[in-house]
Amino acid sequence: MLPTQSSGAGQFAKLDLSRLPSPCFVIDEIKLTENLQILKDIATAADTKILLALKAFSMWSLAPLINDYLAGCCASGLWEAQLARKYFSGELSSFAPAFKPSEIEDIATLSSHVVFNNLGQHQAFADVARKYGAETGLRINPQHSEGQTAKYDPSMTGSRLGQPLDQLMQLDLPDIDGLHLHNLCEQGFAPLARTVAAIEPYLAAQKGRFQWLNLGGGHMLTQPDYDTEALIALLKRLRADYEAQIYLEPGTAIAFDAGILVGEVLDVTDNDGPIAILDISATCHMPDVLEAPYRPALLNETSEDGVNVTLGGPSCLAGDVIGTYNFPNMPKPGQRLAFLDQAHYSMVKTTTFNGMKMPSIAIWNSQTDDLKRVREFDFSDFERRLS
C-alpha cells in the first residue's frame, strides 16, 4: 500500500476543475482502460489469470468496463465478496488473516477460492468451504522480505500473514488446492523474481500437487518501466514447470495514474511561512499521506521560482498536513487544486472524522471531455454511521 509516485499530470492537465464539486475524486476512464488493456495483454501472453484487488480499487460503477478485461476479483472479507458477486464477473478469491465462523458459509458460497492464512484456519473451515463449492488455498509466508517499509512488509519478522515457509518444509500438508503468497508493495519485476527463487525449492518438492499458484499483488505492471517481457517469461515457466494455473491480483496497477483528488483553497494564513487550508484532509481523504508517509504530486506544480506553501486540511488534527508545494503566485481562497494518482487506496480509505464530508466521485473521459458525477455524499451518510 505504499503509494507509488505518479508519472505526471498527463491527461488531467486538460480538465477544467471548476466543473467539479469540491472535494471530488475523478477517474479518467480512458487511462483506466489503457491500464486494463496492458493487464489483459500480459494475462493472454502468459496464460495467467489477473484479478482485481478490491481492497485497492472497488469503484463498482466501473465494473462493466473492468469485467471486459480481468478474470475476476479478490476480496478481503464478506462485504467485498458480496460487492464482487453483485457487480463484477468472473472468479472470486477470498482471503482474510482470520475468518469469522458466522461468515464463512456466506464467503464460501460467494467464492471460487477461499484462501486460509494458516493451517489452523484451514483445519477449522476447509470442510465448510468445500461444502459450498469453493476450492481451498493456503497463504504461505516466503520469509523473504522485499518491502521498503516494515508496516507494508508481509514478510517482516513476526508477521501474522501466512504460514511460514520453514514450517511447511517440515509438515505433511492436508488436501489443499492451491498456494497464495504476497510480499510485494508496488514494486517492479526484480523483487518478484527474487521471491519466486526463494520459494522454488518448496514448489519443486511439491511439484504437481497444487492446481494453482497465486502470486498476490504489489506488482506495478502498468508502470512504464515494468519489465513485462521478463514477467511473461517467468509466469509461463512457472505454469509449465509446476503444472498449475498462475494468478496475479494487482491493486494499484489497475488504477495507476487514472484518478485525481480535486479540492479547493479555503483560507491562506502564515506561521513561519504561508499555509493554505484546503477542503481536502490528509487524515480523512488521503490517509496514506500520513501513514506511509509520502508527498502526493500536485497537478501543475511549478519547480521554478515561486512561493512555497504548506497545504493542510480542515480537520482538528494538528498533523493534518499534505506537504509543501511551490506555486508561481500565492494561492487564493476559491482556487482549485488537484492531487495526482489518488484512485487507488485513497478512495477506499476515506473517513468522516470531524464530520468531514467525503469527496464526491466522478468519471471523466479524457478523449471526449464528457464528465459524469456518479456519487455525492451528504449529512445522511455521516448520520447513518453512528446512532
pLDDT at 387: 84
Rounded CA separation 251/39 (Å): 11
369 marked as part of a ligand binding site = no
**Those residues with Cβ within 8 angstroms of residue 364's Cβ, 6 or more apart along the chain or in another chain:** 15, 26, 27, 28, 29, 370, 371, 372
| pLDDT tens digits for range 132-174 | 999 999 999 999 999 878 888 999 989 999 999 999 988 888 8
Domain that includes residue 267, residue range:
12-26+258-384
Is the domain of 233 the same as that of 318? no
Helix ranges, 69-147 (H): 78-87, 104-110, 119-131
Is the domain of 99 the same as that of 168? yes
Question: Angle 29-46/228-242 helices, nearest 10 degrees?
Answer: 40
What pTM was estimated for this model as a whole?
A: 0.95
pLDDT at 8: 54
Is the domain of 75 the same as that of 181? yes
Number of neighbouring beta carbons within 10 Å of residue 75 = 29
Please list, residue by residue across 322-361, b when 16 or more beta carbons sit within 10 angstroms of its beta carbon and e when fewer do: bbebebeeebeeebbbbbbbbbbbbbebbeeeeebbbbbb
| Torsion angle defined by CA atoms of residues 20, 62, 27 and 186, in that order, rounded to the nearest 10 degrees | 150
Indicate whether 37 belongs to any domain.
no
pLDDT at 172: 82
Is the domain of 155 the same as that of 95? yes
Domain boundary among the residues 220, 254, 288 is at 254
CATH number at residue 303: 2.40.37.10
Q: How many domains does the chain have?
A: 2
Indicate whether 33 belongs to any domain.
no
Rounded CA separation 67/127 (Å): 30
Q: What is the DSSP string of 236-260?
A: HHHHHHHT-EEEE--SHHHHTTSEE
Low-confidence ranges of the chain (pLDDT < 50): 1-3, 5
Indicate whether 96 belongs to any domain.
yes
Q: Please, what is the end-to-end C-alpha distance for the chain in angstroms?
A: 32
pLDDT at 2: 44
Rounded CA separation 324/308 (Å): 6
Query: Phi and psi dihedrals of 358, rounded to 5?
Result: -75, 145
**Those residues with Cβ within 8 angstroms of residue 99's Cβ, 6 or more apart along the chain or in another chain:** 107, 114, 116, 121, 125
CATH number at residue 146: 3.20.20.10
Is the domain of 180 the same as that of 313? no
Q: Quick one: residue 40, left, alpha or beta (phi over 0 = left, psi -120 to 50 = alpha)?
A: alpha
Indicate whether 40 belongs to any domain.
no
Q: Which residues are bridge partners to 307 per DSSP?
A: 327
Indicate whether 2 belongs to any domain.
no
Is the domain of 325 the same as that of 225? no
Rounded CA separation 108/380 (Å): 33
Is the domain of 239 the same as that of 269? no
Is the domain of 250 the same as that of 270? no
Is the domain of 150 the same as that of 223? yes
| pLDDT tens digits for range 55-72 | 999 999 999 999 999 999
Indicate whether 97 belongs to any domain.
yes
pLDDT at 3: 46
